[in-house]
Amino acid sequence: MGWGKDQTGKQGQQGGGTLRREARRGSPPTLGRITPTMHEATYSSAAPTDSLVRRKRLILVAMVALTCFFAVLDSVFMSVRGWERSSFLHAFSFAFCLVVWCSADATLHDFRFGWGFRWCIFLFTVIAFPIYAFKSCGRGGWRLLGLGFLFFSALLAVSFTVEWVTDLLMEHYGSGANHAA
């Protein structure tokens, strides 16, 4: 008897998360051990999907956190003479997070995603992300593009809001410190 085969020698059904009882030679059927089929042992249907979805969500949270961080930096840098905005770093972090997110999404959709295409997404996001969306999802690429546009709009709104709040706090505490002295 092989791993994952029943007593008739046939391979068990793939996926589904079920375990089958396998009797060893020379042991009574009641003392058999529960073993997963080979497919279930290597490609558990629920676990990788859940971890990939969780990883994609964590990447989106990291993108929002980086947006907040760079919005505060931009606001602080704008108040100091001689400093420039951190837009380059913000764009770099956004493109990097987008490539990592696309890698997780490609794994989730069983889409082959080479290093050349990753560099294209990193360097030419506006052109390469729609290509990725349609290549990986087909007609579902419109949905992915719409969600991407909404998320990017939300990032812009978060960035402007955090910059505005930071400017208000800097004016309030900056002017209060000057009046006290």
pLDDT digits (tens, 9 = 90+) for 124-134: 989 999 999 99
CB 169 within 8 A of CB 163: no
Averaged pLDDT for residues 37-57: 64
Tokens of 153: 């709009």
Angle, alpha carbons 163-150-159 (nearest 5°): 5
pTM over 0.85: no
Residue 50's Cα: distance from chain center in Å?
A: 12
The token pair at 162 is 């955090």
Do the beta carbons of residue 83 and residue 178 sit within 8 Å? Answer: no
Label residues 81-99 b or e (16+ Cβ within 10 Å = b): eeeeebeeebeebbbbbbb
pLDDT tens for 15-35 read 444 444 444 455 445 444 455
- CA neighbor of 65 nearest in space, from 169, 158, 177: 158
3-state secondary structure of 22: strand
What does the pLDDT read at residue 22? 46
